[in-house]
């Protein structure tokens, strides 16, 4: 029987790729007086639910979805957490 899984996906720029948005935020924080903040990197955070027969199938499918649509593998890395959704299907956040 298909089970519903909840996924949290984190897409980050590869460390070798410049992050102009992160630099802009860091500069903004400096102007606001936060001198003690460094190494800001901005990525994407995606939440979704999917139905799959097993956790393994869900993970394989998520890998394909990330590679094909959510992340650009040339400049971005991704990782995700997967858990079985409760029956209510409610969003956890």
| Residues of the shown chain interacting with its own copies in the complex, contacts defined by CB under 8 A | 2, 10-12, 15, 22, 25, 28-29, 32, 34, 36-52, 61, 65, 68-70, 77, 79, 89, 91, 93
Residue 10 CB, nearest approach to its own copies (Å): 5
* Chain centre to alpha carbon of residue 6: 13
Adjacent-strand bridge partners of 7: 48, 82
Cα–Cα distance between 88 and 72 in angstroms, integer? 33
Residue 76 CB, nearest approach to its own copies (Å): 11
Quote the DSSP letter at residue 58: H
Residue 89 CB, nearest approach to its own copies (Å): 8
């Amino acid at each position: 029987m298909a089970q519903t899984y909840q996924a949290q996906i984190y897409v980050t720029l590869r460390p070798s790729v410049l992050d102009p948005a992160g630099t802009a935020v860091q500069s903004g924080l400096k102007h606001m007086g936060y001198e003690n903040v460094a190494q800001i990197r901005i990525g994407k955070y995606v939440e979704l639910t999917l139905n799959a027969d097993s956790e393994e199938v869900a993970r394989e499918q998520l890998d394909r979805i990330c590679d094909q649509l959510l992340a650009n593998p040339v400049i971005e890395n991704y990782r995700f957490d997967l858990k079985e959704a409760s029956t209510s299907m409610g969003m956890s956040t």
